[in-house]
Structure formats: structure tokens, C-alpha cells
Amino acid sequence: MRNVVVTGIGLVTCLGNDKTEVSGRLRNLQHGFVEYPPFLEDRNIPIRVAAPIPGFETNTTDSEDWTYPGEIRFRLEQLRGLSPNALYAHFALTRAVSDAGLSREDISGPGTGLYTASSGSAALTHHNLARMKKVGPMRCSPLGIVASIAGTLNFNLAAAYAIKGSTCGFVSACASSGHAMGFAYDEIALQRQDRMIVVGAEDFTLETIVPFSGMRVLSVNPDPDSASRPFDRNRDGFVGTGGAVALVLESEELARERGAPIYARYAGWGQATDGYHVAASHPDGEGLARAMELALASTGWNPGEVDYVNAHATSTQAGDISECRALKSVFEEGASPAVSSTKALTGHALSLSSIMEASFCLLGMSDGFMPGSAHITELDPEAEGLNILRETRPEAPRRLLSNSSGFGGVNVVLAFEKP
Amino acid sequence: MALTQAKEEELRESLKRCPERTIEAAIQFCESKDPDLVPTIVMGIIERFVEPEVRPVLREENDQTRLLEDLGIDSLLMVEIVILVEETLDIQIENDELRNLRTLGDIKNYLDAKIKGLPLPTNRNVLTFEELAAVMPHQAPFLFLHEARINGTEAEGSYRISGDEPFLEGHFKDNPVFPASLMLEALGQLAVLLMLKSESSAFGGDVDPSTIFFVSCDGVRCHKMCKPEDVLQMKVTLKKIHAPLAQFEGVILSHGAKVAKAEEISLTFGLANGEETSETA
């Protein structure tokens, strides 16, 4: 098994598009929430708060009306095949690749693969099908399918960047980009690829977020300063966001040989499933606990060696309790690592969450801090006994875990250590 | 028939990125069905979909401008254009008709026939390189046609200068220029093809390929040099027949600019099956 390291980070998030800015906002606990006008305009929508992505406006199905930074120019036929999430991902990918000191030519060879995660584009799927039913299939955009379906991310990126290694998209709801990261680790560790680009992305559109209202899992709290508050006793659901994050993973040997910047050693990962319910997590967090144990086993660490856990905790009543119980079953009483949920600052980015939070952990590790779990006024009694960080700790974690869980009871845990 | 407010708004919405003159023409067309409005509508729709860099090429309104090579319109973009044209003109374009549209001229002629309810021009007579090689007495490395088509007593053909042609090594030293004499040869070959494949009765029967030879060439002018990667776009037109002579006019363009012209190319020919050649035109 080869060592795997992270050498590049590219961000398109509600906390900003630049590493320094995002790192600063994580450290200072500055959230990305606003009262989002499209929610306010429709009285049937019970929620008000969301975390939009600065610099991007994609809340229309006409891709020629989207606004985005000028650093990438798209040809019309390219734009017609993009979903909002694939648009953001272009920026995340190019930023990550340049952050890793690589060129377009470097990533277009048999040694570099691309794993992605997005749930496709609900907005474009709806728009294209509605048009098909209105005017018939022969008058629908020929690229409507490519832009809409889950897979849009890997289709678009693999073609645009001439990726020649292994390419695949992962769909496991809110653990999707965790699976993409996990299997990308395997590709390098098992010597199938020397370098993997992993991209998670999710549309920031009304159509992606609002359907969760029907499940009663979104916060109806109208106050952007307190709507998302994982581990708080009075939390009432999650807040939606979107965006894209790309990470460049390389074999440690290759990275050292070319003198690449190394954010962290990607030490291993684990996954396990609850086998319990289609949507709800296991009440005792059984699957998540097993995923953490498997991640620890793959790294060879003892639980006591973990400094920090970035929790999946989305700010729903049931989910946060499951995770507290899972953490308590893995880490002995009195030996809890620092735990926080950065979703208090960003909200829940669904398929993007896992890799976005992994990137936040890497920024904390390289910039010397563990972000606090913001917006807790009264700690949930279930979290007692865990070392939930209420403030940012100005100290780099040496070893950390990043948790993710998704529909169907899937759980993925990623493990990183200081290089 | 006057447009309803709703229909006009719908039309303006779907044409919103087209030039204003196109939108106005489309609104008028809905009311009058006047075929003369179609070119303005269609050129504006194409303009809306092509990259800004090639719009000047489009505005030259040269019928020989090729959709893929000159305008960058690939098959998917073509479908987008077709959808908007169908919606605007309220017509249906079939997939197999679409395959025949390769140039701006093709589109104009096709839509003109379609709107007027005339028989559609077909590209049955487009010959690929393999088909040309099977028909022509000339063969590689001395066949200067890659693709050609016949329309009555006209023929259009193209030849892409690859740069690997052996004569370019010496014409000239370290400066490969396609010889003017071979441009005339290429036009002559296209005229040969026209004689062999024309369905016109002008030649008085089937021409025997082994009987065609060069006689004379007048009024030749070259305007521009062509180098590797350039495409010679040729056209020859039958002027008259004094059997056993046939006279043609030929012109070559490249990147939309005139490269060479021959006012009169004369070839001699005989008919297959020993038929007598006779004066017919």
C-alpha cells in the first residue's frame, strides 16, 4: 500500500472562493447565511435562510443567464451541457490543480483519474422534462440529459480536462463525496493511479434545497445567525447550501519527487451502513461508529490519538443525537477528541459536504486551528461528555477524522494526519 | 393572420439572443409566411449560436461557408439551431434532411424549397474520397479532390492540402506552396468528375472515362497562395459543349477568399458503348 497525500485544494463555497478567506472565516466562525430572496417570494416555502455562493448566480435554468467569475470562458456548446454544480466544479478543479502546482497537461495522462460526487441537477431535470412534455422530445436541447442527470459532473469535467485515467461518479446522498474520496484513496494506495482529482459539487438552487422541507428536516428559523446550530438543544433542522470543492490526491512518492506542497497525509478511511431506515440514521449511530472504527483500523491509530473530529452533525434533532452516541461508543469517557460541526457556518451541502468538510480540516491543519462549533447557546444533553468545541482552538490537529452520513444509513469516515 | 400578444411574447422569448432584425422578421413571417424573410431569420438564429469570433465570417453571407469547418457548428449545436428554426418557422426538419446541410447555401436552398413546398434539394450526389477514387481515372497521389458533389451542370469539390504531398518538398525549398498549375489540374479533375457523374443529358450519353483529355485553358488568374492546412474549395460550371469538346468555367476559394479563376477549361471526351458524341448545347 502506498502513502497518499493531499497537494491541492480548490474551493467554491458559501464562505468564499479563496483558501485564505475561507480559512479566516472558519477560524473566526463567520457564517455564510442570508435571508434568501427566492424563498421569501413564495409563501408556500416555510424556510427563509440559505447560504449562497459568492460570485455565482445560477438560480435560472438558462445557462446563458448565469453569472460566474471571469477566469474561465465557456464555449456555448460547453455551457449548454453544464449543470450549476458542474459550472462551480470547473472553478474548483482549476483552482485545485493550480494550487497543486500542476498544469492541464499534467492531469491529462493515464496516471491521473477523476472521481466526482453530485446528485445531478434537480432544476435542469425538471426544466427539460417540462419542456419535453410541452413541445415534444425533438425540440429539446440535445445536451439536456448531459446537463441534468447524476453523472453530469464527471461527464463534463472528464471531457473538458481530457482526463485519461479512471473516472467515476458516486451517488450516496450526503456521503457521496466521502465515497469519492475513499475510493480515490484506494486507487492510489493500490497503485492503480498515481494521482486522483476528487470533486464534490451540488447545485445551489431552490429545487435542490426546498424539497427537504417536505421531509421536515430544514430549519424554519428565520434568523441567519442561529438557524444552523448543530448540537444545540433547540436546533430545528439544517440550512441548505451548494458549491464545489476539489482536492488533488497524489502518491506521497510522486508529490515529494516533484516538490509539491503537502497539506496532509491522507491516512485511510472507513465505511459502514446502518441497515436500518431509508432516510433516518440509526438512533445509536451504529453504522457511523463502525465506520469510525474501520477508519481507525485502516490507519492503525488508537482512538486516543485522534485530536479532532469534524462531525457530520447537520443540526437536525435525530441526526445529531445519533452522531453523539456513535462518538461516545468509539471514544472512551473522558478521552473525547475535540468535536465540531462546521455546518454551523456553511449549512449542509449534501453531496458536496464530505469533501468540503475534509478541505476545511486540511485548512485548519495547515493554518493551525480547529474550528469551533458555532451558534450553540444551550448544549444538547446528548452531547455532554463529548469535547464539543464552543470556540476555535488555535492549535493544529495532528490526527483527525471527518464524518459523513447519508440516506440509506451510509456512513463514511476519512482520516488525515500532519505530513 | 395577426399574432396574439402571448404568441409574440413567446417568440420574442425564444429568439431573445438573436439580432433585432431577426426577431422582427420572425414576427412578420408568422403573419405573412413570406419566404423572402427566411434568410434574415435563419442567419440571425445561426449568429446567435456561433462563437463571437466567427460572426464576421457569417456576415459575409457566402453560400459556400461551411457550417462545421468555418463556423464551428458541430452536430449538437446544429440541433439547437434546427430546434429554434423549427419553432420560429413552424416547420418540421427531418434527421435525414439535416444530414444534407453542410453549407449556408444548403440551408438557404433547403428552407426556401421547404417553405415554398418545392421538392427538396438532395445531396445524393455528394461523393466521398473513396467514391471519387472509384469513379475517377486519376488516382492518388495525383487525385486532387477529397470530397465533391454534383448539381446538374455544376460541380463543387474540396481538397485539403495536407503538407505531405511529395512535390511540396521542392515547391519551394523550405517554403511549401501549392503549385498554380496543380490548381488548374484540380479544377480539370472536378470537370472530369462532372462529365462522369452528371445526370444532365448535356453530354449526349455516358462519358467514357478513358476518353477524357485536356485541350486548352484560357483566362487564368491566380490571386492568392495556398499552403499546407488550407482547403481549396472548387467550383466548375459547364459553359458549352461542341462535341467532342466541353468547356467549363472554374473558380477556387480558400477561407472565403478567391484563390484562382479559369474562364475556360476545354476537355475532349467520348461516349461509352461507342455512341457518337453530338452537339447538344
Q: Per residue of chain A (419 residues), give pLDDT as tens.
A: 899 999 999 999 999 999 999 999 999 999 999 999 999 999 999 999 999 999 999 999 999 999 999 999 999 889 999 999 999 999 999 999 999 999 999 999 999 999 999 999 999 999 999 999 999 998 898 999 999 999 999 999 999 999 999 999 999 999 999 999 999 999 999 999 999 999 999 999 999 999 999 999 999 999 999 999 999 999 999 999 999 999 999 999 999 999 999 999 999 999 999 999 999 999 999 999 999 999 999 999 999 999 999 999 999 999 999 999 999 999 998 999 999 999 999 999 999 999 999 999 999 999 999 999 999 999 999 999 999 999 999 999 999 999 999 999 999 999 999 99
- Cβ of residue B76 closer than 8 Å to a chain A Cβ: yes
CB contact under 8 A, A141 and B83: yes
What kind and span of H or E run contains B57?
helix B55-59
Which contacts of A141-148 are long-range, i.e. CB under 8 A and separated by 24 or more positions?
A141/A80, A141/B80, A141/B83, A142/B76, A142/B79, A142/B80, A143/A77, A143/A80, A143/A81, A143/B76, A146/A81, A147/A63, A147/A80, A147/A81, A147/A82, A147/A83, A147/A86, A147/A121, A148/A83, A148/A120, A148/A121, A148/A124
Local structure of residue B48 (DSSP, 8 states): H
- Cβ of residue B129 closer than 8 Å to a chain A Cβ: no
- Cβ of residue B60 closer than 8 Å to a chain A Cβ: no
Interface residue of B67, B79, B87, B89 to substitute, partner A, most A CBs within 10 Å: B79
- Cβ of residue B51 closer than 8 Å to a chain A Cβ: yes
CA nearest A153: which of A226, A108, A207, A202?
A202
CA nearest A128: which of A80, A163, A94?
A80
Q: What is the reported pTM?
A: 0.80
CB contact under 8 A, A139 and B83: yes
CA nearest A170: which of A158, A185, A182?
A182
Q: Can you give the pLDDT at residue B274? A: 65
Q: 3-state secondary structure string, chain A?
A: CCCEEEEEEEEEECCECCHHHHHHHHHCCCCCCEECHHHHCCCCCCCCEEECCCCCECCCCCHHHCECCCCCCCCHHHHCCCCHHHHHHHHHHHHHHHHCCCCCCCCCCCCEEEEEECCCCHHHHHHHHHHHHHHCHHHCCCCHHHHHCCCHHHHHHHHHCCCCCCEEECCCHHHHHHHHHHHHHHHHHCCCCCEEEEEEEECCCHHHHCHHHHCCCECCCCCCCCCCCCCECCCCCECEECEEEEEEEEEHHHHHHCCCCCCEEEEEEEEEECCCCCCCCCCCCHHHHHHHHHHHHHHCCCHHHCCEEECCCCCCHHHHHHHHHHHHHHCCCCCCCEEECCHHHHCECHHHHHHHHHHHHHHHHHHCCECCCCCCCCECHHHCCCEECCCCECCCCCEEEEEEEEHHHEEEEEEEECC
Calculate how close chain B gets to A118, using CA atoms only, in Å: 24
**Interface of chain A toward chain B, CB-CB under 8 angstroms:** 64, 75-77, 80, 135, 138-143
Q: A135 to chain B: which residues are within 8 Å by CB? A: 87
Considering only CB atoms, B80 lies closest to which of A80, A135, A138, namely A80
CB contact under 8 A, B49 and A76: yes
CB contact under 8 A, B51 and A76: yes
- Cβ of residue B224 closer than 8 Å to a chain A Cβ: no
CB contact under 8 A, B83 and A143: no
Q: Can you give the pLDDT at residue B277? A: 59
Interface residue of A63, A131, A139, A140 to substitute, partner B, most B CBs within 10 Å: A139
Work out how many CB contacts closer than 8 A connect A with B: 23
Average pLDDT of B30-35?
Answer: 90
CA nearest B237: which of B190, B175, B170, B281?
B190
Find the residue in B nearest to A75 (Cα): B51
Average pLDDT of B202-211?
Answer: 90
CB contact under 8 A, A76 and B83: no
Average pLDDT of B125-141?
Answer: 88
Calculate how close chain A gets to B12, using CA atoms only, in Å: 15
Joined grid coordinates for residue A228: 444552523
CA nearest A276: which of A132, A411, A145, A89?
A411
Q: B67 to chain A: which residues are within 8 Å by CB? A: none
What is the separation, in whole angstroms, between the first and last Cα of chain A?
Answer: 17
CB contact under 8 A, B51 and A64: no
Q: Can you give the pLDDT at residue B66? A: 86
More confident residue, B103 or B275: B103
CA nearest A24: which of A396, A397, A392?
A392
CB contact under 8 A, A139 and B76: no
* Cα–Cα distance measured from residue B281 to residue B271, given in angstroms and rounded to the nearest whole number: 16
More confident residue, A39 or B93: A39
Measure the CA dihedral A378/A379/A384/A388, to 10°.
-130
CB contact under 8 A, A77 and B74: yes
Calculate how close chain B gets to A352, using CA atoms only, in Å: 30
Q: Can you give the pLDDT at residue B76? A: 87
Instruction: Give the pLDDT confidence of B231-241 residue by residue, as tens digits.
Output: 999 999 999 99
Query: What are the catalytic residues of B?
Result: 171
CB contact under 8 A, B86 and A139: yes
**Residue B281 pLDDT class (50, 70, 90 cuts):** very low
CB contact under 8 A, B77 and A135: no
List all residues of chain B from 13 to 32 with a beta carbon under 8 Å from chain A. 17
Q: B51 to chain A: which residues are within 8 Å by CB? A: 75-76
* Cα–Cα distance measured from residue B110 to residue B108, given in angstroms and rounded to the nearest whole number: 5
CB contact under 8 A, B77 and A76: yes
Q: A77 to chain B: which residues are within 8 Å by CB? A: 74, 76-77
* Cα–Cα distance measured from residue B211 to residue A102, given in angstroms and rounded to the nearest whole number: 64
Query: What are the catalytic residues of A?
Result: 174, 312, 348
Find the residue in B nearest to A81 (Cα): B76
CA nearest A346: which of A3, A2, A8, A12?
A12
Calculate how close chain B gets to A75, using CA atoms only, in Å: 7
Q: Can you give the pLDDT at residue B280? A: 45
Interface residue of B77, B78, B81, B88 to substitute, partner A, most A CBs within 10 Å: B77
